[in-house]
Amino acid sequence: MNNLPIIGITMGEASGIGPEVLVKMLNDISGKNVCRPLAIGDARVLELACRKFDVPLKFRAISHPKEADWGSEEINLIDLQDVPLEKLEAGKHNAVTGRAMLNYTDKLIEFYKDESIHGGVGGPHSKKAADLAGYNFLGYPYYIADMIGEPDPFMMLVANKTRVVNTTLHVSLRKALDMITKDLVFKAIKAGAEAMALFGVDKPHIAVSGLNPHSGEEGMFGTEEEEHIIPAIEAARELGLNIDGPVPADSLFYQCTTNPRYDAYVAMYHDQGHIPVKVDSFMDASAVAIGIPYIFATVDHGCAPDIAWQGKANHGVLRTTVELISQMAKNKYNL
C-alpha cells in the first residue's frame, strides 16, 4: 500500500452528483491497489451520501495527509465542515456549495505545495455555484494556475489513447478566434509534448489542427494558419518535436479511432476538440490540466443537477480519472 501514490480527491459541488460519485468510487476501488485515496470534502455530506445510497464506507477525519492511516479500512478524509446540511438542497447551487467546492481545491493546492500528495482529482464542478460565491471560475486548470502564478495552463481531454490539447477553452468562439496567435499555439504544442512523458510516451508524434475550413486553403478561407499556426509548428519543430499540421480538423479527428496515428492532438478551440472525443467516448473522458507543475484532472462531465441525490449517477468516469492520475503519478515519481 505504501508504494502507491497518494491522490487527493475532492467532493466537488455538494448539491450535484459529486458526493454520490465520490463515495461510490471510493467503495469501488477499496482494496484494489489503485492509489492511496485522500478524500477532501465535508464528512456530514459524505456520510449522508453513504446512508442514502447504501454505500458501506467509514471515514477517518484528519487535517493533513501526514495524519493518514493507510492501513485502516476507513477512508482518510480532510473534513472542512463547510456545507451545513440545512444549506444542502439537491440540484440547487448556492454560494455555500460554490465556496466549499473551491475550498477543497485550495486544500489540494496546499498539499501539492508541501509535497504531501502525488496527484489530485477534482470532483464535478459548477461554474454557476462558484459565480454565486463570488469567484470568476473558468475551470479547475485555470483556477489552480492562477492560484500558483502559472501563466500558461491548458486542458488535455483524454479518452483511452486519444489525447486532445485545447489551445483555447472556456471563452466565446468569437474571443477564441482572436486569441489564436503563434505564441499561444506554440505554448499549447509544447505543453502537450511535455505532458506526454507522464503517459509513458517519450517521443510523441503530435498533430495540430487547422482553424479554418481546409486549414485555410492557402489563405483563401482565412489566414490564421499562415500567420500563426504554421509558424508555431515550425518553432516547435526547431525544438526537435515531431509535429504534423496544420491538418484540417474534419479529417484529423476522424482518424482518432479509425486510424490512430498520433499520440496527441492540438485543437484550436473547445468544440473542435471536444466533439470528436465525446462522439466516440461520451462519459468516458478525463480533463487533465497541463502546463502546471502538478498532476491534476477532473471528470469531463458536469455536476448533473437534474439527477442529483437520486442514486442515478454513474461513478465510472471518476474511477477512470483516478486511475489515470494514479498512473501518471507513478510515471512521474517512479512508484
User: Does residue 130 sit in the same domain as residue 57?
Assistant: yes
User: Does residue 144 sit in the same domain as residue 183?
Assistant: no
Model pTM? 0.94
User: Quick check: 89 and 107 in contact, CB under 8 A?
Assistant: no
* Residue pLDDT, tens place only, 217-270: 888 998 999 999 999 999 999 999 999 999 999 888 777 766 678 999 999 999
Which residue range forms the structural domain that includes residue 271?
Answer: 151-291
User: Quick check: 60 and 52 in contact, CB under 8 A?
Assistant: no
Average of per-residue pLDDT across 179-198: 97
The DSSP 8-state label assigned to residue 174 in this structure reads H
Average of per-residue pLDDT across 32-47: 96
- Indicate the Cα dihedral angle 282, 269, 10, 192, nearest 10°: 100
User: Does residue 125 sit in the same domain as residue 79?
Assistant: yes
Q: What is the pLDDT of residue 14?
A: 98
Question: At 278, is the pLDDT very low, low, confident or very high (cuts 50, 70, 90)?
Answer: confident
* Residue pLDDT, tens place only, 89-115: 999 999 999 999 999 999 999 999 999
Look at residue 280 and tell me whether its pLDDT is greater than 90.
no
Average of per-residue pLDDT across 49-61: 98
User: Does residue 39 sit in the same domain as residue 72?
Assistant: yes
User: Does residue 328 sit in the same domain as residue 235?
Assistant: no
Question: At 1, is the pLDDT very low, low, confident or very high (cuts 50, 70, 90)?
Answer: low
C-alpha to C-alpha distances, 144 to 18, 33, 106, nearest whole angstrom: 19, 28, 8
Q: What is the pLDDT of residue 235?
A: 98
Q: What is the CATH number of the domain that holds 29?
A: 3.40.718.10
Percent of the chain residues past pLDDT 90, beyond the cut:
86
Look at residue 276 and tell me whether its pLDDT is greater than 90.
no
* Residue pLDDT, tens place only, 291-327: 999 999 999 899 999 999 999 999 999 999 999 999 9
Q: Domains in the chain: how many in total?
A: 2
* Structure-block grid coordinates of residue 252: 484529423
Work out the angle between the directed axes of helices 316-333 and 18-29 (0-180°, nearest 10).
60
Q: What is the pLDDT of residue 251?
A: 86
Non-local CB neighbours of 168 within 8 Å, separated by 6+ positions: 175, 176, 179, 180, 184, 268, 269, 270
User: Does residue 300 sit in the same domain as residue 177?
Assistant: no
Query: What mean pLDDT value characterizes the chain?
Result: 94
Q: What is the pLDDT of residue 203?
A: 95
